[in-house]
A = this chain, B = another copy of it.
Amino acid sequence: MAQPLKLGLFGFGTVGQGLYGVLNETRGLNAEIVRICVKDRQKQRPIAREHFTFEPSELLEDPELDVIVELIDTADEAFAIVQRALANGKAVVTANKKMVAEHLGELVELQQQYGVPLLYEAACAGSIPIVRNLEEYYDNDLLSSLSGVLNGTCNYILTRMYEESVDYAPVLADAQAKGFAESDPTLDVDGLDAKYKLVILTGHAFGTIPAPADVLTLGIRQASAHDFQFAREKGYKLQLEALSRRLPGERLASYVLPRFVRPSDLIHNVSQEFNGVVVEAAFAEQQFFMGKGAGSYPTASAVLSDISALSFSYKYSYKKRAQNAPLALDRDVTLRVYLRYPTGHEPVLEQLGVHNIEVRHSAEGVSYVIGRLQLGTLLSRHEELRHEPFFLALMPEQPELDQGEPAEAAAAEAVAARS
């Protein structure tokens, strides 16, 4: 490759600026940013005005550019940019998880139609090379589950609540002040960001791309000091886990839920703004990947690695998707949960169909139960109940299964017991 790759960049926020800095400090990579398209004509920029344009077509229609790097916030605009770039024969690198998750099927088709690659390692788990490992290394036939902590903001908040015994609101406010959480934290704390990442990773792990709306997603907004007191008493941590697990009969369980985590669990040590991913395969057993999940430089480094891969003609092959009939999302999965609510709000138990209650606890106006419910019921009802003051988290595998049973059977049974 004699000629450097010529890049057109959309967006010049923290990641875009990080990428610009990283590219300038990297000898090895044969690529240069030719022009940057931004929206705000008034904003002061840290580099000279001549690098910028406000007209997308100056990048998208420029035959000199090989690659479009898309780093804007808005998913719909990003999708329009990516569509046009691919149609114009340009390779694309993006970090926009919402856009990729919502359009992954179409994006696979577009890549095949126009014969140009789209890479998005930066959209999933920051600097961890998980998309590429799922795509290249783990044979789908042997892969039983993919799970992990995929949102650094939630993990930062949960780590601080656990370590400092403080409540949700002040930790969120502090995280916002420090730039670890957005002023509108919805995408992060309601689990949507983790859901988008899970959708993409599930596509590369199993060849099936779940519709985001079908993935049960509860966040951490209702977590309180009560839940952390419970966690500490039991020797657990509380983490927001995203999981997709293959079930018998070509089915798939897929959800994002808070979960109480034992010290023996690989994600137990994922703290602060780190992300961690666990891949379970039949013969390799558990594999664990951990790295910074957010921040301008870790994300920029993933973008950079995709650019580097393009310079060696890398593309995702999506071979699992081509080889396999899609797995069906299973709603009939029984979950073992902890459900905490203000004493007196017991109707929520019936609304969520909680059954097989093992533990009922009530003290000083706060109650919790430990019992079971169906994934499908929760998926149908949780939206209408989202303003109800309850907090739900998965419990770890059943204690009685810890002894004697093979670990894998116990984990499979507990995480996704069929009713």
- Please list the residues of chain A having a beta carbon within 8 angstroms of any beta carbon in chain B: 18, 22, 25-29, 127-129, 132-133, 136-142, 266, 269, 281-292, 297-298, 300-302, 304-305, 308-309, 312, 314, 317, 319, 323
Tally of this chain's copies: 2
Q: How far is the CB of A384 from chain B (nearest CB, A)?
A: 41
Q: A127 and B287 in contact (CB under 8 A), knowing A133-B133, A139-B28?
A: yes
Q: A141 and B26 in contact (CB under 8 A), knowing A136-B309, A298-B283, A304-B283?
A: yes
Select one of B138, B139, B301 contacting A281, CB under 8 A: B301
Q: Cα distance A287–B277 when bound, in Å?
A: 12
The answer to whether B266 and A290 touch across the interface, beta carbons within 8 angstroms, is yes
The answer to whether A29 and B141 touch across the interface, beta carbons within 8 angstroms, is yes
Q: How far is the CB of A273 from chain B (nearest CB, A)?
A: 11
Q: A142 and B283 in contact (CB under 8 A), knowing A132-B137, A137-B132, A266-B290?
A: no
The answer to whether B26 and A139 touch across the interface, beta carbons within 8 angstroms, is yes
Q: Cα distance A92–B309 when bound, in Å?
A: 25
Q: Cα distance A288–B136 when bound, in Å?
A: 19
Can you give 23 A-B contacts (C-beta < 8 A)? A22-B282, A27-B141, A28-B140, A28-B141, A127-B284, A127-B287, A129-B133, A133-B133, A136-B309, A142-B304, A266-B290, A269-B269, A283-B300, A283-B301, A284-B291, A284-B301, A285-B292, A286-B291, A287-B289, A287-B290, A288-B291, A289-B290, A312-B317
The answer to whether A291 and B302 touch across the interface, beta carbons within 8 angstroms, is no
Q: Chain B contacts of A28 at CB under 8 A?
A: 139-142, 323
Q: Chain B contacts of A22 at CB under 8 A?
A: 142, 282-283
Q: How far is the CB of A248 from chain B (nearest CB, A)?
A: 15
The answer to whether A26 and B142 touch across the interface, beta carbons within 8 angstroms, is yes
